[in-house]
Amino acid sequence: MNAPFLILETGKPVAPMRRHGDFAHWIRVAAGLSRDEAVVVDVEGGEPLPNREGFAGVIVSGSAAMVTQRLDWSEAAAAWLRDAAHAGLPLFGICYGHQLLAHALGGEVGDNPRGREMGTLGIELLPAATGDGLFEAIPARFDAQLSHLQSVLRLPDGAVALARSAGDDCQAFRWGECAWGVQFHPEFSVTHMRGYIRARKVALQREGLDPQALLAAVGAAPEARRVLRRFVHWSREHAA
């Protein structure tokens, strides 16, 4: 039997989307994992971080929290991730998880100077993605679902940027050989993305963005989801 993956939940979906399950469920389905292949720990809810032994890899969810808040549970998770990264455990951070991993390893996170990114947007791979275990077979340009206000402003020492978008120079990074972060949401379906745009309608309008135009532009993002599935495959091969 394959070793399970650990999913660290750092938040919950916006209220209107909770009828579709929690982030761990979205991630598990997008990653192609069965219920028996995933262990979920709600770190935001106060569940204790486990011993890292026995897991094929770790996936860290998104959150409505901000890494810059330095919340106790978040800082504890960062310390755990730092130790896990140095121990060579495969790690994959999504949105908040991407930022938390960068922070844990010594990078800088803060408000995105170009403002909010929301909707189905284009991602461009950078030269360092050539030969990368997750991105080497991904098209040089692909669409992904995005919803964030903060970004990785400075990568940790030893990290390389793998992708960017028009609104964020660090859409993905790799640290060492086994740790990745992606600012985009590979676990979001079209339904999830549309739900988030509707839930953020007032904030989007206040920021000068057009929710209806963003809704009309939402589309499938299979290559972004493929990155998450490649992490699962890579981690199992690494464990073998």
pLDDT of residue 179: 98
pLDDT of residue 102: 98
pLDDT of residue 239: 78
pLDDT beyond 90 at 220 = yes
Q: How confident is the model at residue 2 (pLDDT cuts 50, 70, 90)?
A: confident
Average pLDDT over residues 58-83: 98
* pLDDT tens by residue, 49-62: 999 999 999 999 99
| Domains within the chain, CATH numbers bracketed | 5-239 (3.40.50.880)
Q: Of 66 and 2, which is predicted with more confidence?
A: 66
- Known catalytic residues are 95, 185, 187
pLDDT beyond 90 at 178 = yes
Average pLDDT over residues 3-25: 97
Average pLDDT over residues 8-25: 97
Average pLDDT over residues 168-176: 98
pLDDT beyond 90 at 14 = yes
pLDDT of residue 33: 97
pLDDT of residue 214: 98
pTM of the model: 0.97
Residue with tokens 């189905």: 120
The percent of residues above 70 in pLDDT, for the chain, comes to 99
List the beta bridge partners of residue 144: 121
The whole-chain average pLDDT of the chain stands at: 97
Distance CA 31, CA 47 (A): 23
